[in-house]
Structure 1
Amino acid sequence: MLHRGMDSALVVENEFMRSHPMTAVQRAKQIIEPSAAQALPPEAYRQAVDQADLAISITDDKANILFANDAFTRVTGYTKEEIIGKNESVLSNHTTPPEVYQALWKSLAEQKPWAGKLLNRRKDGELYLAELSISPVVDATGTTTHFLGMHRNITELHRLERVVANQKHLIESVVDAAPVAFALLDPTGRVILDNQEYKKLVTDLRVKEPAHTVLDSLLPAWREALAENPQQLVVSNREARIDRAAGRARWLSVTSSVIGMHSDCADSYFCAAGQPGLLLVIADVSNLREEQERARASALQAVLAEEERTAAIREGLSAAIFRLEEPMNVMSSAISVLQRRDPASAAMLQQALSGSREHMEALRQVIPQSPQEIVVSVNMNEILRDVLEVSTPRLLAAGIIVDWQPAATLPAILGRPLQLRMLFKALVDNAIEAMNIKGWKRRELSLTSALNGDCIVVSVLDSGPGIPQDWRYKAFEPFFTAKGGSGKHIGTGLSRAQQVVADHGGIIDLDDSPSGGCAAIVEFRVDGDPI
C-alpha cells in the first residue's frame, strides 16, 4: 500500500507500471533474465521525473500537492517550497466553467483518467491555458490514494489556433461572398473546396460537378494532364459555352492555376514535396455574351438574308442556263443534219447559235460567286443556336413548338461557319415549310446535337407529313422542288445543303421521324476526315 509519506518517485514508478502491464511471457523473461529497468536505482526515476519537460505533480486524494517537478515550477511560477502542501485549486483562476470540474471529479471518482483544459493563474497573476491530464493512483485494495497530474502551458498554441481559425473563417467568408465560383480539385479530379456560387452552378446546370463539365468543354484531356502535368491546364479568361436542354445557354469565363497542397498523412511529415491541386475561378458572363450575341445575331441575320438572296439569284440564273441548254443542244443537232441538205440555213442557224452561246456565257459571268470562307474552329452548338435565333420569327409565325436538346459540351471541329449556318437554316426552313400547311395541327420541331464516338450528329426532326421514299434521293438533286406536289413533305431543294456537308467531309440522310414527319440527320467527324 502507498502512503502519503512514501517516496514520490516510487508513486510515479508504480503508476507507470500499472498503466503499462506486462504480458505473462514478459514477466517470465524478466524473472529469468533481469532487464535493464530492474537494474535502475530508484534515484533514476526521481531524476527522470524532475528533469521532464512536462509539468508533473502528485497529490493526495484531496488534491493537496505532495510533489512537483522543476517544469511545474517554471510553468506556474511557484517554487517547490511554496507549492508543496497547497491544494491544486491555488492555480485556478476561478473562471473555468463548473461543468468542467464536475466532469473532472466524476471521472476521477470512477478511477478513470481525465484530460482537458483549465484556465489557470501563475504566481505573478498572468493567466495561462493549461492542457491537463490527471490519472488516479490505485493501491492493491482498489482505493484511490493519489493523483498524478501532468500539464503544459498551451496559451501560445491556443492563440495560434484561434488566429488560424479566424483566418480560415475570414477566407471562407470572403470566398463565399465572392461573385464568382471557386473550385479546388485534387490530383484525382475530386472537388475538395468550393463556395456558394459554385453550389448555385450545380443547381443551375443540373450537373454533379460543374468544374468537370467546364473542363470537358475547354480541355477534353484534363484528367490525364491533372495527374501528370497540371501546368498544361493553366488558362486565363477562357470562355466555355454550356448548353442546356431547357433554358438559355450559359457562358462561363474560366481562369485556372496550380496550387501546391501538402498531404495530411503521417508519412508525409518529413517529405517537403506536396501534391498539386487545380484552382478554378469561374465567372458567369452570360449577360454580357447575350448582349453581344443579340448584336451579332442581328448582323448575322442580315448576312444570311443577303447570302440567301444571292444564292437564290445564283440558283435562278443557273437553272435558266440549264434550261436554255436543252433547246440549244437541239439546235446544234439540227445544224449537223442541215449541213448536208441546206448549208445556207445551217450557216444561219449556226450564227444564231453562236450568238446565243455568247449571251449565255455573258450570263454565266454575272452569276454571283459563292463567298470564300476560311476554315476556322467551330462550335456546332453555337451554329445551331444561331440558326434558331435567326429562324425564331418564322417559327413563331407558323406556331411551331421547338424542342432544343443540345449536348452539354461538344468538341470543336474545323469548318466554314457561314456555310454551316446556311446548311442548317435550309434544313430548318424545309421543316417549317413542311408543317406550315393549312389545317396541319401538330407542329413540332426537334433539334438535337450529340457526340457519337468520334462523330458529331445533328438531327432536325419535324412532325410534318413526311417525305415519300422515292423522293429522298431526288431531294438532293439540283433544282428539285416538291412545292405544290402531292401534299407530302414540301420544301426547297437540298442540293446546296448536301454540297456543304460534302465540303466538310460529312454525310446527310433523310429518314422518317418518330412523329411521322421527316428526319434530316447530319454527321461530321471530329477530326475532319471524310466519313
Structure 2
Amino acid sequence: MRIPLFDDASLMEQTACAPMPSALRPGLFYTAVEQSSVAISITDPNARIVYTNLAFRQLTGYGEPELTGTNHNILSSRQTPKKHYQEMWSTITQGLPWVGQLINQRKNGSLYLAEVSISPIFSADGQIEHFLGMHKDISDSYALMQRLRNQMSLIAAVLNNVPAPVVVLDEHDHIVMDNLAYKTLCADYGGRELLAEMGYPANKAGLAAGERVTLDIGGVQRVFGLNIWQLAEVNEEVSRYFSDVAPPRTLVTLIDDSESQRQRAQQRLERLKHKLVSGKLLAAIRESLDAAMVQLSGPLNMLAAARRLSLDGALHPGLDAAWQEGQQALARLQACRPSLEQEESDFWSIGDLLKDLSDLYQPRVRDLGELQWRCEPEMLLGFGQRHQILASLSLWLDRCLILANERPASPLIITLHAYSQDNAFFFALRDNLSLHPVHNAVPTQTFTMPGHGMELRLIQTLIGNHQGMIDLHTQAEGGTLLTLRLPLPARLFRHPVMTGESE
C-alpha cells in the first residue's frame, strides 16, 4: 500500500501554506527514506542494525528480519583491511562523519564495492544515539575506472616502447602526454623542451609542411622533423556535458632525419668529388696538350723560317712535308683540347662553396693540422662556373697536403678567406708551408715536380678561363699566400652583396 506524502488537502493548498520541515508529519520522512534509491541503514552505537530501507535490502539480498538486530559486520567480506575499519570507528565514535570504500558481501556470497557515508546521530543531551549509513554500489564505475587505467597503462607502455619521440598536445599546444624517448631526448638536450626549441608552435605551419630543424644534442648535429595529426577527443569537462564538444588534441611525432641527412650529404659530397676529379682531369689534359703544342710549335716555327729563307724559292719536298705534317699534328692536338665550359656561369653562395670545400677536406686535414675558413660578408655571392672555382681551391689544398706529408715536422695550418673588393671577389689561401716568391705569370719550367707546380699551372688554366688572376708569394712570417682574383659582371658592380657592403 502506497503511503501518501501529504494530507488530504490539495497539493496547491500545501504549497501555498509552505509548511516548515518541523510541521511535516513523521510519516513523510519515513516514506522518503524507505522509497529512496540510496541504500540506507541505521544502527545503534554498537553497530546493531535497527533499520534498513528497501534499497539496502535489495542491494545486500537480505530480508528485514535477517538484518534487524544483527551486527552490521554481517556484510563484512574479510577483504577490507582491518586498519580501514579501525580508522572508520575511530572517526565516527568521535562524533565525526566518515566517508570511504568497503568491500562488502551479499547474502549470496557475491562481493561488491560500496561507497559508504556514515554520520553520527546525537540525542538531546549530545550523546551518540545512532549511526546513519548510506551505501552506494560503485563496482561498475570502479571496474570502468580500472579499465581506463589499464588502457592508459597499455598506451603508456606502447608509447614508451616506440623508438620515436611522441607527444600529445592540448588545444593550447601544452604537452599532456609524452613518451620515454621524448623525455630522454629532452634530458640529452639539457632539460630544455625540444618542441619549443624546434620553433613549435610559432612555426607550426612550416614544421607541418616538412621543414627540418638542426639541433646540437650532446655535441652531435641532429636533424629533426615533425609529423602532426589531429586527434578525436572525448569531452571531460562538466561544462560541456550536454554539448559533448571536446577540445582538439594533437599527436606529434618527432622524426630523427639525421642519418638520412647524413647519407644525402655524403652522396652529395661523392657527386661533388666526382665533378672535381673530372674538372681537374680536364684541366690536366688541356694543360698537357697545351704543353705539347708549345713544344711542337718550336720546330714548326723553325721549319716555317727555313721555308721563307729558301734562296731559289723552291720548297724542299722533305721540308715542306715535315711542315705540313707538323701543322696537321698541331691541328689534331688543338681539336683534342677539352672544353672547360662544363657548366653555365651563374651566381652562387661563396659561403656554401667554402663549406663544401671544408666538408671535403676536413677528414684529410684533421690528422695533419687544421683548416679554417671565413666569408665576409656571410651572404657574399660569386659568379662563374662554380665547380671550376671549387676545383681551383681544391688543387691548392691538394698541394698543401702533399707538402705537409713530406714535411710532417709541424702541424699544417690553412686559412681561407673570401671577400669582395674593387668589382671582384677574392680567395686568399694562407698556409705555413714555405715556397719561393712567384708572381702571376710563372715560367713553366719552374714547376716540374708533382706537388711543386703542376697544381698551380692547372689553377692558372681554370682561373684564366674566368679572366681571373692569381698571385703567389711567401709571407714574411713564413708560409705562402695564394690569392685568386675573379671579376664580377659589370652590371653587378653596385650590388651590395657583390661588393661586400651591407644593405
Give the TM-score normalised by structure 2: 0.62
* 1:100 aligns to 2:91 (yes or no): no
Distance 1:153 1:368 in 2: 91
Distance 1:421 1:157 in 2: 77
- The structure 2 residue matched to 1:86, chosen from 53, 61, 70, is 70
**Residues 484-518 of structure 1: CA distance to partner in whole angstroms, max 9, x if unpaired?**
3556982332537x77xx79x872688xxxxxxxx
| Aligned-partner SS, 1:56 | strand
**Residues 324-374 of structure 1: CA distance to partner in whole angstroms, max 9, x if unpaired?**
xxxxxxxxxxxxxxxxxxxxxxxxxxxxxxxxxxx9xx99x9763362399
- The structure 1 residue matched to 2:358, chosen from 378, 388, 399, is 388
1:266 corresponding residue in structure 2:
238
1:22 corresponding residue in structure 2:
none
Distance 2:184 2:416 in 1: 29
* 1:161 aligns to 2:133 (yes or no): no
Q: CA deviation at 1:422?
A: 6.2
C-alpha change, 1:73 and 1:156, in structure 2 (3 Å) is same
Distance 2:182 2:154 in 1: 18
2:177 corresponding residue in structure 1:
193
- The structure 1 residue matched to 2:251, chosen from 263, 271, 279, is 279
Amino acid at match of 2:71: N
1:300 corresponding residue in structure 2:
272
1:10 corresponding residue in structure 2:
none
Written as runs of structure 1 = structure 2, the 5 A alignment for 1:184-223 is 184-206=168-190, 208-214=192-198, 221-222=203-204
Q: CA deviation at 1:205?
A: 4.1
Q: Which of the pair has more CA radius of gyration? A: 2
Amino acid at match of 1:507: V
Q: CA deviation at 1:50?
A: 1.7
1:345 corresponding residue in structure 2:
none
Amino acid at match of 2:165: A
Distance 2:394 2:499 in 1: 11
Distance 1:446 1:186 in 2: 50
Q: CA deviation at 1:35?
A: 5.6
Q: CA deviation at 1:160?
A: 1.1
Q: CA deviation at 1:287?
A: 3.5
Written as runs of structure 1 = structure 2, the 5 A alignment for 1:406-485 is 419=386, 443=413, 478-484=468-474
Root mean square deviation, CA, Å = 5.0
C-alpha change, 1:494 and 1:49, in structure 2 (3 Å) is farther
Q: CA deviation at 1:428?
A: 13
**Residues 388-430 of structure 1: CA distance to partner in whole angstroms, max 9, x if unpaired?**
32121453265017699xxxxxxxxx999x9499679959989
Q: CA deviation at 1:314?
A: 11
Amino acid at match of 2:473: K
Amino acid at match of 1:252: F
Q: Is the 8 A contact 1:104 1:114 kept in 2?
A: yes
Q: Is the 8 A contact 1:234 1:258 kept in 2?
A: no
| Aligned-partner SS, 1:493 | strand
**Residues 291-312 of structure 1: CA distance to partner in whole angstroms, max 9, x if unpaired?**
4443432222222444567789
Structure 1, 170-179 or 80-89: larger mean CA deviation:
80-89
C-alpha change, 1:483 and 1:415, in structure 2 (3 Å) is closer
**Residues 413-451 of structure 1: CA distance to partner in whole angstroms, max 9, x if unpaired?**
x999x9499679959989x97xx899987958799xxxx
- The structure 1 residue matched to 2:481, chosen from 474, 483, 490, is 490
Structure 1, 58-67 or 137-146: larger mean CA deviation:
137-146
Q: CA deviation at 1:110?
A: 1.8
Q: CA deviation at 1:76?
A: 0.8
Q: CA deviation at 1:125?
A: 1.4
Q: CA deviation at 1:385?
A: 5.8
Percent identical: 27
Amino acid at match of 2:229: S
Q: CA deviation at 1:275?
A: 2.1
Distance 1:269 1:294 in 2: 57
Distance 1:43 1:403 in 2: 99
C-alpha change, 1:103 and 1:438, in structure 2 (3 Å) is same
Q: Is the 8 A contact 1:64 1:85 kept in 2?
A: yes
Unpaired runs of 5+ residues, structure 1, are 1-32, 226-231, 316-358, 405-413, 448-459, 466-475, 511-521, 524-530
Written as runs of structure 1 = structure 2, the 5 A alignment for 1:17-28 is none
**Residues 119-168 of structure 1: CA distance to partner in whole angstroms, max 9, x if unpaired?**
11111211111111111122343321111101111111111111111111
Give the TM-score normalised by structure 1: 0.59
Distance 1:284 1:276 in 2: 26
| Aligned-partner SS, 2:243 | coil
Unpaired runs of 5+ residues, structure 2, are 1-16, 288-330, 375-380, 418-426, 433-465
| Aligned-partner SS, 1:490 | strand
| Aligned-partner SS, 1:128 | strand
C-alpha change, 1:303 and 1:126, in structure 2 (3 Å) is same
Amino acid at match of 2:222: R
Q: Is the 8 A contact 1:180 1:283 kept in 2?
A: yes
C-alpha change, 1:145 and 1:285, in structure 2 (3 Å) is same
**Residues 31-64 of structure 1: CA distance to partner in whole angstroms, max 9, x if unpaired?**
xx97653443322222222222111111110111
Amino acid at match of 1:80: E
C-alpha change, 1:201 and 1:506, in structure 2 (3 Å) is farther
* 1:64 aligns to 2:54 (yes or no): no
- The structure 1 residue matched to 2:34, chosen from 33, 50, 65, is 50
Q: Is the 8 A contact 2:347 2:382 kept in 1?
A: yes
Q: Is the 8 A contact 2:276 2:390 kept in 1?
A: no
Q: Is the 8 A contact 1:481 1:491 kept in 2?
A: yes
Distance 1:211 1:172 in 2: 20
C-alpha change, 1:251 and 1:245, in structure 2 (3 Å) is closer
Q: CA deviation at 1:186?
A: 2.5
Structure 1, 395-404 or 206-215: larger mean CA deviation:
395-404
C-alpha change, 1:173 and 1:509, in structure 2 (3 Å) is farther
C-alpha change, 1:491 and 1:403, in structure 2 (3 Å) is closer
Amino acid at match of 1:45: F
Q: Is the 8 A contact 1:384 1:424 kept in 2?
A: no
Q: Is the 8 A contact 1:77 1:122 kept in 2?
A: yes
Distance 1:253 1:48 in 2: 65
Distance 1:303 1:206 in 2: 41
1:125 corresponding residue in structure 2:
109
